[in-house]
Chains A and B, each alone.
Chain A
């Protein structure tokens, strides 16, 4: 099975900051990589699909990049509503594994 490793596991930042979250796959997954945001008590929400495509309705301060094994999620100018947990997920194989999550907290 493909393992997905996110870093960091937790991150403290301030409103207005720019943050980067990375996701590494244990083998090449082309661009079959998606990013989700989850707030406490809520279902996850799709942010970025196919590594770099912004889901409809998601603010443009979110962006994604990468291919193969290394991927990044960038958030420019953090807003109060962005403090949440972020997950990457691969869909290259039929075992759709998630990363362990990155909790973004207010500094």
Chain B
């Protein structure tokens, strides 16, 4: 079955770090562009970061310099390392798959993992 399963969310204090994982099955993460998208409670969708098949990465201005996206071919997993977390990073984080061409939409989504930043 083709699917994405996120994990790693939880409660963290402001200034802390967390690493989210997104395990893929049925396809190879390194063969597709992959993104993280988040949704604060009761709010809309916010694109966070993308990694291209060649390894290039891009970030929303709100997380640039604090978050790092990566993939691991050995376990077919997408990661999001989140450092210096702030209260406004509180959200459900979704991983999602693009196609293999620039501009492709997000055609497969995980179920999401909740990150809460609070003291």
**Is chain B found bound to chain A in the same assembly?**
yes
Asked if B104 and A91 make an inter-chain contact with CB atoms under 8 angstroms apart, the answer reads: yes
The answer for the CA separation of A10 and B103 in the assembled complex, in Å, is 28
Residues B20-53 near A (CB distance < 8 A):
35, 37, 44-47, 50
Interface size of B in residues (CB-CB distance below 8 Å): 22
Name the residue on A nearest B98 (C-beta).
A91
Which B residues are in CB contact (< 8 Å) with A32?
A: 103
The reply on A60 being an interface residue by CB < 8 A is no
Which A residues are in CB contact (< 8 Å) with B47?
A: 89, 95-98
The answer for the CA separation of A99 and B35 in the assembled complex, in Å, is 17
The reply on B60 being an interface residue by CB < 8 A is yes
Question: In the complex where A96-B35, A100-B44, A101-B44 touch, is A43 in contact with B112 (Cβ < 8 A)?
Answer: yes
Contact mask for chain B residues 87-101; partner A; CB cutoff 8 A; 1 contact, 0 none: 000000010001000
Asked if A91 and B103 make an inter-chain contact with CB atoms under 8 angstroms apart, the answer reads: yes
Asked if B105 and A46 make an inter-chain contact with CB atoms under 8 angstroms apart, the answer reads: yes
Name B109's contact: one of A43, A85, A87 (CB within 8 Å): A43
The reply on A34 being an interface residue by CB < 8 A is yes
Asked if A89 and B105 make an inter-chain contact with CB atoms under 8 angstroms apart, the answer reads: yes
The answer for the CA separation of A58 and B105 in the assembled complex, in Å, is 15
23 contacts between A and B (CB under 8 A): A34-B106, A43-B109, A43-B110, A44-B45, A44-B109, A45-B109, A46-B106, A49-B105, A49-B107, A85-B44, A89-B45, A89-B47, A89-B106, A91-B103, A91-B105, A92-B103, A94-B50, A94-B58, A95-B60, A95-B61, A96-B47, A98-B46, A100-B44
